[in-house]
Chain A
């Protein structure tokens, strides 16, 4: 074994510091989720005091007619279905922009690029007015349909498809008699899978954390995702103080699916992020 160099020690120390910086809020959240409302204020924030996680969780899950599990399922649906569809759409669009030659291709791509720069918050209100005209506000579609569009995903997929899929391979497939659909679904999707995992994760997290779009689209709290639901709890806490604890606990529960998704998919993500960046 080599003796570690000072540069390496410094690097590890710096990374450890950064990890602490990012993990501290999560750590606080875990601790806070185990406390009573009184201890939330009255005890030291970074250590346990009369932990009662199960009691808190059962309160959170049953409050107001089991509304929280409903929000959680809604979030899973919006983020899960939305991310899958967004990934498919991005893959198809990205592949087409990379491999098919057609008039206006660059113009389309530049429009998509402009879409990356446009904050989705700015689009929420016009979308609401539009969806209201076709009667889709306050429906699941109102949140789902805008969520399946991901300009960043298209951008990433195009870059990736350009470098990862060789024209010769496509030619060979065509010569063997495969139709374009078959080529896309059996060949291209597999070749692009690292990029697709990346797009899926990004979009999943994006939809999961989205607040403004569901805020303007939905008014029935049984269709809310967790983000919106927790805000209604936080706001009602000046009338019903126990809701402060429910908000904290609800936030704790809501990061678990994200953590699981990261841990399961991070291997793909790592390769996905770097693979497309080097052009052969």
Chain B
């Protein structure tokens, strides 16, 4: 069993893997994973903590796999308490076997040795079934620690009927996007081309990610934070202009005024993730048939650069006594066509499994989107996500600084460029507080 030290040493040797090194006084998992022998003819019980409503898929597994029984326990989502519970359970040495962990939070769990090294149980031969960038989110120092579940490739939802009415072309580049926003405002008497959630760093990060920025990277043992690169600056400039000219609706993406805007057409589109289809459908049902989806606008005409917002893995926590069985279940859950079908119906997002859209419920023409097979756009988007984007083990705190700062910009103080530069210092401090080596780029 590799210890954290050896993993960290290996991490230091591999530039591709985040340096989860130089442990400060991190509280680690109190119990290490060990494979227990299964009693002959006996049944293995696995506990799975998640907040995604995937009970139906698990019920199917339990029907078809009587020797491995999985119990789903619904816990509050991520930072509303789910991760806190998982950390407490790891510390107590009594964790569930499986847990829902978002991609951005995986490094944080790595830092406390909270995840089982799945390479030791043969996970690497399953790699070919998954979209590459999603698989990479669970790989640290060349070893696999999580099975990807789903993501949120970015696209541009827009109201086709309003674009016709106002005689607008769907923008293909960011320049066209800004132009279209201007024209829309004039012709519509105040409608906005998209919402700009002021306090949502995960959403905002999708744009530097698309541009090719890398907010964090590692050099040996050191974390390098780079929120002010040329790419990030360009993106920040763009949004500074959009906010200054009042071309975007600065409302939170989950606020009632956002949904009201979608219902009334005051917000005539949204740069968003694939999983937001369910939100538009469920909260603005009166707009059925009027929506379409296009690729994200591009910085260079003709490119297909893309990005992602949100994404989750099925991780096997440190301390389980049945890692092999848990791995078998996690792989089935995320790749079996019958399971994916049930997960899609439950609205879990975009599958991490490589899939043939034609055979999937995602590949059907959708009346809500005027008969468009809108997921074709997201499939292209998913394939073009920059695979080298990384998250740090301090994403929760550090992204909070970023969104606090951007929130102030939207309220009329300063620019996003300055906001990012200021957040960078705090970001580095967060990493140092964890006992990690870190510096600004």
Contact = CB atoms under 8 A, between A and B. Distances in A.
Interface string B241-282: 000000000000010110110011000000000010011011
B35 to A, nearest CB: 23
Most buried by B among A132, A137, A216, A219: A219
A30 B173 CA distance: 46
Contact of B49 (A38, A219, A231): A219
A238 interface: yes
Interface string B37-76: 0000000000101011100000000000000000001111
B92 A241 contact: no
Chain A, interface SS category: helix
Contacts of A41: 256-257, 259-260, 263, 283-284
B286 interface: yes
A132 B254 CA distance: 37
Given A219-B49, A238-B254, A240-B347, A37 B92 contact: no
27 contacts: A41-B284, A42-B263, A45-B256, A129-B88, A132-B92, A132-B93, A133-B92, A137-B94, A215-B84, A216-B88, A219-B96, A221-B73, A221-B75, A231-B76, A232-B51, A232-B75, A235-B51, A235-B76, A235-B78, A239-B52, A239-B275, A239-B349, A240-B278, A240-B347, A241-B282, A242-B282, A244-B283
Given A41-B257, A241-B278, A241-B282, 8 more contacts: A211-B81, A215-B81, A216-B88, A219-B89, A238-B278, A239-B347, A239-B349, A244-B283
Nearest to B49: A219
> Across chains A and B, which 4 residue pairs bring their CB atoms closest together, nearest first?
A241-B282, A235-B77, A239-B347, A41-B259
B225 to A, nearest CB: 29
Contact of B74 (A125, A129, A132, A232): A232
A83 to B, nearest CB: 24
Interface of B: 47, 49, 51-53, 73-78, 80-81, 84-85, 88-89, 91-94, 96, 254, 256-257, 259-260, 263-264, 275, 278-279, 281-286, 346-349
A38 B81 contact: no
A215 B51 CA distance: 13
B278 A228 contact: no
Contacts of A125: 88
A228 B76 contact: yes
A236 interface: yes
Contacts of B81: 211-212, 215, 231
Contacts of B93: 132
A204 interface: no
Contacts of A228: 76
A29 to B, nearest CB: 14
Contact size class for A? 20 to 34
A232 B76 contact: yes
Contacts of B52: 236, 239
Nearest to B53: A236
A220 interface: yes
B286 A38 contact: yes
Nearest to B310: A238
B256 A215 contact: no
Contacts of A221: 73-75
Given A38-B283, A216-B85, A236-B51, A129 B92 contact: yes
A40 interface: yes
B283 A241 contact: yes
Given A125-B88, A238-B254, A240-B53, A38 B285 contact: yes
Interface in A121-137: 125, 128-129, 132-133, 137
A235 B254 CA distance: 11
A75 B205 CA distance: 40
B96 to A, nearest CB: 7
Interface centre among B81, B96, B348 (most CB of A within 10 A): B81
A132 B88 CA distance: 10
B30 to A, nearest CB: 9
Contacts of A240: 53, 278, 282, 346-347
Contact of A219 (B84, B85, B285, B347): B85
B198 to A, nearest CB: 18
Given A38-B283, A41-B259, A239 B85 contact: no
A239 B73 contact: no
A215 B286 contact: no
A37 B49 CA distance: 28
B91 A129 contact: yes
Contacts of A235: 51, 76-78, 80
Contacts of A45: 256
Interface string A188-227: 0000000000000000000000011001100111000000
Contact of A236 (B49, B77, B260, B281): B77
B285 A215 contact: no
Nearest to A132: B92
A215 B76 contact: yes
A268 to B, nearest CB: 35
Interface in A33-56: 37-38, 40-42, 45
A212 B76 CA distance: 11
Nearest to B281: A241
A256 to B, nearest CB: 23
A38 B89 CA distance: 39
A37 B76 contact: no
A269 B96 CA distance: 44
B162 to A, nearest CB: 17
Nearest to B284: A38
Nearest to A242: B282
A132 B283 contact: no
A123 B384 CA distance: 47
B361 to A, nearest CB: 15
B322 to A, nearest CB: 17
Contacts of B348: 239
Nearest to B91: A129
Most buried by A among B80, B275, B283: B283
A148 to B, nearest CB: 22
A235 B81 CA distance: 11
A266 B254 CA distance: 38
B259 A238 contact: no
Contacts of A238: 254, 275, 278-279
A132 B81 CA distance: 18
B88 A239 contact: no
B282 A37 contact: yes
A215 B94 contact: no
B257 to A, nearest CB: 8
Contacts of B282: 37, 240-242
